[in-house]
């Protein structure tokens, strides 16, 4: 007759690190209940494991991974836990448990009200219960996002209100109101920046004279002032989340300034380097006009889309300082990236780059090779500089492109919409 191996249990207790305060004692409660059950049923518990960690993502719980390792090494062959969702709320961790059952290394799962063995029906029930827990997690995430979106559509920006405003909860309603102490001074700062063209440092000195402080009770810094002066929330619009493609909303809060004053402040920031510092554009400074030999400059335009979103476009053009009638046409940044990529692929051996950029190129190439080897992907890589330029010009951030362009020592010119070496 086939001998049935004795069951050695590991007691596993878990609570989510993101739980409410009411769950703070849940681990102790689980341990007490399961110890009592083990004593009543005479279960052989050889170890106890506990952790405070969300089970939303697979493979991220260190103690749970230790539990699986112990089962795989046959230190124990059964698990005692409060409920199936203590073990898994995602497909990856559930799969690991079922695999151990299929291998005969996990013989029994005992919860407070159920048992699961390596039986098709019981395994199926276990998978349903854990999948239901995952569904609850997914629905919770969807509901939270829907709630935030609804709040934005109602005109209330989630999170802490910008300086000059206060979050208020009154009569069951959460809204945003003007801060009676800070709002007048921030409005005056916009006026001084727009109408009188005050610099950030001059505004900083003025704020200090007024005794103005942030919410931490500290004097406001120049960088904080610049953030305030570039925040559309003050004229009644906001973007959520703070990402380039995120939607824009009309705020239900009371605007502190007019849209015209806000635009005036942005113009002074973009034009007068002595006041705010000129805007940064990735490829300005590395290009010349091939027709008149003047510099290539850049400007950005914002277009309000039908959806209400605002999209930014960057254009490069000849300054026409040497020839006011220069015929070189504007080229947008995305098209310029395509031109630069094609030029690098054809002429990379003739181009010179800074050592800092060379280090980034070599690091990117090494990481790419390592990943391809790790996942056993067969792919022939091009020249390291070509590979890196493809990544930056197609997927890099504006900061990545700025650092990339500043690291290219070779001067280029644009003539009739095409890139050439600068003569």
319-364: pLDDT as tens digits: 888 898 999 999 999 999 999 999 999 999 999 999 999 999 999 9
> Is 3's pLDDT higher than 60?
no
Q: How far apart are CA 131 and CA 338, in angstroms?
A: 46
Higher pLDDT: 204 or 399? It is 204
Q: What is the b/e burial string over 256-269, where b = at least 16 CB atoms within 10 angstroms of the residue's CB?
A: bbeeebbebbbebb
> Is 36's pLDDT higher than 70?
yes
Task: Quick: pLDDT tens for 181-195.
Answer: 999 999 999 999 888
Which segments within 42-193 are labelled E, that is strand?
45-52, 78-80, 108-110, 115-117, 165-170, 173-178
**Average pLDDT of the chain to the nearest whole number:** 85
Task: Quick: pLDDT tens for 97-156.
Answer: 888 998 989 999 998 888 888 888 888 888 888 777 666 666 666 766 777 888 888 888
Architecture of domain 165-269: Alpha-Beta Complex (3.90)
Question: What does residue 237 show for φ and ψ, rounded to 5 degrees?
Answer: -125, 150
> Is 84's pLDDT higher than 50?
yes
| Residue 317: pLDDT band with limits 50, 70, 90 | very high
Question: What does residue 120 show for φ and ψ, rounded to 5 degrees?
Answer: -50, -45
Q: What is the pLDDT of residue 281?
A: 82
> Do 49 and 119 meet the contact criterion of CB atoms below 8 Å apart?
no
Residue spans per domain, the chain: 9-138, 165-269, 287-421
Cβ burial, residue 248 (10 Å; 0-12/13-18/19+): middle
Query: Do 9-138 and 165-269 share a fold?
Result: no
| DSSP label at residue 165 | E
Cβ burial, residue 111 (10 Å; 0-12/13-18/19+): buried
Higher pLDDT: 283 or 311? It is 283
Tell me what percent of the residues of the chain surpass a pLDDT of 90: 43
Query: At the topology level of CATH, where does 9-138 sit?
Result: Rossmann fold (3.40.50)
| Residue 223: pLDDT band with limits 50, 70, 90 | confident
Higher pLDDT: 9 or 51? It is 9
* Residue of 190, 166, 167 lying closest to 179 (CA atoms): 166
Q: How far apart are CA 392 and CA 46, in angstroms?
A: 54
How many CA atoms, within 13 angstroms, populate the side-chain half-sphere of residue 178? 15
């Amino acid at each position: 007759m086939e001998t049935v191996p004795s069951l050695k249990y590991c007691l596993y207790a878990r609570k989510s690190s993101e739980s409410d305060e009411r769950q703070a004692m849940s681990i102790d409660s689980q341990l007490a209940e399961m110890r009592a059950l083990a004593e009543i049923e005479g279960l052989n518990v050889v170890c106890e494991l506990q952790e405070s960690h969300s089970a939303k993502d697979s493979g991220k719980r260190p103690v749970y991974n230790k539990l699986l390792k112990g089962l795989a090494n046959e230190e124990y062959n059964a698990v005692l836990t409060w409920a199936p969702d203590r073990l898994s709320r995602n497909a990856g961790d559930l799969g690991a448990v079922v695999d151990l059952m299929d291998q005969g290394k996990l013989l029994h799962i005992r919860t407070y009200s159920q048992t699961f063995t390596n039986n098709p029906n019981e395994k199926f029930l276990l998978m349903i219960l854990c999948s239901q827990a995952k569904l609850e997690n997914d629905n919770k995430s969807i509901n939270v996002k829907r709630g935030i979106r609804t709040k934005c559509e109602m005109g209330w920006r989630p999170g802490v209100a910008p300086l000059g405003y206060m979050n208020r909860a009154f009569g069951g309603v959460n809204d945003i109101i003007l801060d009676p102490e800070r709002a007048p001074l921030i409005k005056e700062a916009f006026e001084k920046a727009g109408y009188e063209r005050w610099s950030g440092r001059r505004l900083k000195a003025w704020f200090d004279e007024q005794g103005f402080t942030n919410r931490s009770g500290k004097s406001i810094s120049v960088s904080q002032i610049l953030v305030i002066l570039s925040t559309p929330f003050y004229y009644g619009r906001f973007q959520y989340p703070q990402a380039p493609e995120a939607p824009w909303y009309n705020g239900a809060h009371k605007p502190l300034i007019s849209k015209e004053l806000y635009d005036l402040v942005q113009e002074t920031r973009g034009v007068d380097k002595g006041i705010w510092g000129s805007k940064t554009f990735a490829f300005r400074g590395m290009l010349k006009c091939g027709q008149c030999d003047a510099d290539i400059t850049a400007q950005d335009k914002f277009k309000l889309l039908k959806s209400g979103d605002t999209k930014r476009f960057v254009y490069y053009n000849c300054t026409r300082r040497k020839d006011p009638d220069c015929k070189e046409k504007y080229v947008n940044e995305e098209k310029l990236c395509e031109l630069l990529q094609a030029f690098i692929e054809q002429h990379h051996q003739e181009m010179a780059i800074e050592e800092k950029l060379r280090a980034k190129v070599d690091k990117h190439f090494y990481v790419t090779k390592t990943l391809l080897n790790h996942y056993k992907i067969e792919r022939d890589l091009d020249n390291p500089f070509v590979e890196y330029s493809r990544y930056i010009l197609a997927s890099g951030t504006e900061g990545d492109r700025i650092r990339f362009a500043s690291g290219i020592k070779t001067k280029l010119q644009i003539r009739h919409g095409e890139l050439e070496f600068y003569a």
